[in-house]
Structure 1
Amino acid sequence: MTALAGAASDAFWTTTLRRWNAVCWLLFAVMAVGLAAIDRPGGSKYAALALLGAVVVSYAVLYRFPANPVVRPEVYLSVLVVALGGLAYLRGNYAALFMVTLPHYWLFGRTPRVSMVFLGLATAATLAGSVLRDDGWTVEFFTEVLVSTLLVVAVGALIGLWAHSVVAQSAERARLLAELEETQAELTEAHQRQGAADERERMARDIHDTLAQGFASIIVLAEAARAGLDADPARSAQQLRSIESTARENLAEARELVGSGRRPDQTAAGSVAETLRRTLDRFAEDTGLTVDAELEDLECDQQTRIALLRCTQESLANVRKHARASTVGVVLARQPYGVELEITDDGAGFLVEESSGFGLDGMRKRLAELGGRLTVTSSVGDGTRVLALIPPGAAS
């Protein structure tokens, strides 16, 4: 609304000034025609025509070459001042031209000070021409010319200063609007960059939690199967089947990522306990570790279920790769302060403050998106405890 109001105000003033300018030049044209067709031949007639011609030519040059540094508006205003003085000296009625040229000082004056200077010069030239024509300061001159001229000048100056203030405010408003548009464009670009960065981070986290973990499992299973080919062929066959199953799951998840554009987090709706139990059974089968699970039958929304599943998968992957544990405990329960998932192991442990892996950071960010938090407690030789908490607002 502000921009529309400013544009409407600018358009109004531009139209008004153009109309006044048209009146001025129409009057000049009528005077020139009158001089040429009606006035008697003589020096004063040709002098008046020459003055009018000089004004027209200087204005035409200024209008045609506005960007030329040689053709300055001050030149046109100077010619106009001289012409007004000369016309006031030649003919008394020419002093009326002074009134219709008032807008020109504000149109072509670069600053209010310049406009006021040329307005003063034009006033002085007009009055001087009238004084010289009437042979001095008479009572008639004082009452009819001087007072009326000064009154017109005062009104014109006030209107000009007010109009210049309005134009300056419009220019400032336009500058602020341009800065606002530039800032909005920068914010839009920043949001787009941030959105792209967030999307890259989400994709990296999804790839880490799905494809990367699957490939890590395949590597571990393949190494175990190769090592047990001679000693335990049945166990190796089971591990090969697990490799095949994991590879199929990875292929399906990869297709989801690059094909349909959907996230590979679209787990089936239902009890999160059933989803976690299948994951734990698969982990126990692949690793041979003992898994003690206490999973409360909870109904959670999709995002909560995905977060709990990914935290479980990441924790089990860390146990598989680093912990050298024999037993893993998993507890899922609803507490007054939210849904709580606890995963413990009796492995080698580690120094949490020195951990720089992507997995723990990804779990923290995933939980933070739901208003939850991740707490990791561990020490060397004393196992690890991972506690994920999601507040009630995120779980139904």
Structure 2
Amino acid sequence: MTTSAGQATDPFWAATMRRWNAVCWVLFAAMAVGLAAMDRPGGSKYWALGLLGFLVLCYAVVDRFPENPVLRPHTYLLVLVAVLGVFAYLRSSFGSLFMVTLPHFWMFSRTPRASVLFLGIATGSTLTGSWLRLGNSPKFFGETLVPVVIVVAVGVLIGLWVHSVVAQSHERARLIVELEQTQAELSEAHQRQGAADERERMARDIHDTLAQGFASIIVLAEAARAGLDSEPAYGAQQLRSVQQSRSIQQLRSIESTARENLAEARELVGSAQQQGQVAAGSVAQTLRRTLDRFAEDTGLTVDADLADIECDQPTRIALLRCTQESLANVRKHARASTVGVVLARQPYGVELEVTDDGAGFVVGESAGFGLDGMRKRLAELGGELTVTSSVGDGTRVLATISTDGADAPAHAAGPAEGGATV
């Protein structure tokens, strides 16, 4: 059924309309029975029954076909206005029909203004029909004019109140729909952000573990091949033996690194929730094994001062990954001879420093994934990364992870003279 403010699409309003239609049909039937059984016989009785039947037919058409081009809701209201006027002219019992059909002016009008307008026209039509029947008699003023005015006034007030309540209900329903849509969009955005964060975390783990391991394997394999391809002079059996021993050691390092990469890959694929678990033991022992392997593979001098500190697993992982990435950068870019690593407990938290005496670089021009990955990994734990370097002066990488919400001191982030910091 066509109603105001798009109420036809509201399930609550549709259910209300179905209940009211049932009540309306009962009232129409009761009026028909009353006219047929209890009114005195005469021509006006049959005219009244005919008008009531015609009105019921129009109501049925509007109820069944609300968008009918011939009898639209406003057309039905005009028919209702005419029927009320004729009914008031024919019979004194027009008030019952007026009361039954009073809600129709609110149901079939699209706006409150239209409802009041049609109701005013119906009131005028009814009073005109009654006046034509009674004239200026006291009965017209006492039994028709005053009751009709009172009923219409009450009907207008109730109709406006109901329309306001329905409008507020629609507004609340609209807000609820918008809220649900916003919540769905936020949930989808959170899912997308969570997926992006997980991809970034996996990328960092792959870069810091598998990629670095494969790079080490490549370097060791190239060195081993170079050692095997070079042929010492005839009779230099001792030199040949040294080269073979070195190649064997490099092959062992390749095998060990490959096994470690395989273990890391299995953890990343099969145990993503563990986020790259580090082997049991203190963080100092873990870093020591990493430094020993680095010194063995590269032949560089490694000076390590590792305090035996206790920290949680995420902090251990972050310190290990920062060490691995820093050593990988030294291997690939620094051309250094000595690497220094210091792990210390400070009042504000844990501090890891990796330095080298290599070629250095301009920090502001660095666009590698490794430094950015270290910075984000530390930021997730409330830590900071400071990289100080300049061309020809080596590099200093300082990772700080605060504990108990303490802030790192200002001097920890200060760059060395002629350097740059990120």
TM norm. shorter chain > 0.5: yes
| 2:311 pairs with 1:312 | no
| 2:187 pairs with 1:192 | no
What does residue 233 of structure 2 align with? none
What does residue 234 of structure 1 align with? 245
What does residue 166 of structure 1 align with? 165
What does residue 365 of structure 1 align with? 376
Instruction: Provide closer, same or farther for how the CA distance between residues 306 and 109 of structure 1 changes in structure 2, counting only shifts above 3 A.
Output: same
What does residue 25 of structure 2 align with? 25
Q: How far apart in 1 are the matches of 2:216 and 2:16?
A: 80
Deviation at 1:257, TM superposition (A): 2.0
Deviation at 1:96, TM superposition (A): 2.8
Q: How far apart in 2 are the matches of 1:84 and 1:269?
A: 93
Q: How far apart in 2 are the matches of 1:12 and 1:183?
A: 23
The amino acid across from 1:373 in the alignment is: E
What does residue 244 of structure 1 align with? 255
What does residue 151 of structure 2 align with? 152
What does residue 4 of structure 2 align with? none
What does residue 137 of structure 1 align with? 136
What does residue 104 of structure 1 align with? 104
Deviation at 1:274, TM superposition (A): 0.6
Residues 294-321 of structure 1, C-alpha deviation per residue, up to 9 Å, x if partnerless? 0011011000000000000000000000
Structure 2 residue corresponding to 1:344, chosen from 340, 345, 355: 355
Q: What 5-or-longer segments of structure 2 have no aligned partner? A: 1-9, 231-239, 407-422
RMSD: 2.1
SS in 1 for 2:85: helix
SS in 1 for 2:276: coil
Deviation at 1:129, TM superposition (A): 1.2
| 2:334 pairs with 1:335 | no
Q: How far apart in 1 are the matches of 2:46 and 2:351?
A: 103
The amino acid across from 1:252 in the alignment is: A
What does residue 116 of structure 1 align with? 116
What does residue 387 of structure 1 align with? 398
Q: How far apart in 1 are the matches of 2:87 and 2:56?
A: 14
Q: How far apart in 2 are the matches of 1:294 and 1:162?
A: 82
Q: How far apart in 1 are the matches of 2:301 and 2:197?
A: 38
Residues 319-340 of structure 1, C-alpha deviation per residue, up to 9 Å, x if partnerless? 0001000000000001111110
Q: How far apart in 2 are the matches of 1:369 and 1:259?
A: 23
Q: How far apart in 2 are the matches of 1:16 and 1:166?
A: 14
Counterpart contact for 1:325–1:347, Cα < 8 Å: yes
Counterpart contact for 1:295–1:330, Cα < 8 Å: yes
Counterpart contact for 1:269–1:302, Cα < 8 Å: no
Instruction: Provide closer, same or farther for how the CA distance between residues 15 and 228 of structure 1 changes in structure 2, counting only shifts above 3 A.
Output: closer
Q: How far apart in 1 are the matches of 2:225 and 2:67?
A: 84
Counterpart contact for 2:268–2:276, Cα < 8 Å: no
Deviation at 1:13, TM superposition (A): 7.8
Q: How far apart in 2 are the matches of 1:295 and 1:70?
A: 93
SS in 1 for 2:398: strand
What does residue 5 of structure 1 align with? none
What does residue 44 of structure 2 align with? 44
Counterpart contact for 1:90–1:133, Cα < 8 Å: yes
| 2:265 pairs with 1:254 | yes
Deviation at 1:258, TM superposition (A): 2.1
Q: How far apart in 1 are the matches of 2:21 and 2:265?
A: 73
Structure 2 residue corresponding to 1:277, chosen from 281, 285, 288: 288
Deviation at 1:360, TM superposition (A): 0.4
Deviation at 1:224, TM superposition (A): 1.1
Residues 146-177 of structure 1, C-alpha deviation per residue, up to 9 Å, x if partnerless? 11110111111001001100000000110111
Deviation at 1:70, TM superposition (A): 4.8
Instruction: Provide closer, same or farther for how the CA distance between residues 197 and 70 of structure 1 changes in structure 2, counting only shifts above 3 A.
Output: farther
Deviation at 1:47, TM superposition (A): 2.1
Instruction: Provide closer, same or farther for how the CA distance between residues 164 and 65 of structure 1 changes in structure 2, counting only shifts above 3 A.
Output: same
SS in 1 for 2:311: coil
Instruction: Provide closer, same or farther for how the CA distance between residues 99 and 208 of structure 1 changes in structure 2, counting only shifts above 3 A.
Output: same
Counterpart contact for 1:20–1:103, Cα < 8 Å: no
What does residue 323 of structure 1 align with? 334
Q: How far apart in 2 are the matches of 1:19 and 1:88?
A: 28
Q: How far apart in 1 are the matches of 2:394 and 2:155?
A: 91
Instruction: Provide closer, same or farther for how the CA distance between residues 294 and 67 of structure 1 changes in structure 2, counting only shifts above 3 A.
Output: farther
The amino acid across from 1:79 in the alignment is: V
Instruction: Provide closer, same or farther for how the CA distance between residues 347 and 16 of structure 1 changes in structure 2, counting only shifts above 3 A.
Output: closer
Deviation at 1:217, TM superposition (A): 0.5
Q: How far apart in 2 are the matches of 1:388 and 1:12?
A: 62
Deviation at 1:220, TM superposition (A): 0.7
What does residue 53 of structure 1 align with? 53
Counterpart contact for 2:388–2:397, Cα < 8 Å: yes
Deviation at 1:206, TM superposition (A): 0.9
SS in 2 for 1:298: coil
Q: Which moved more, 1:14-23 or 1:60-69?
A: 14-23
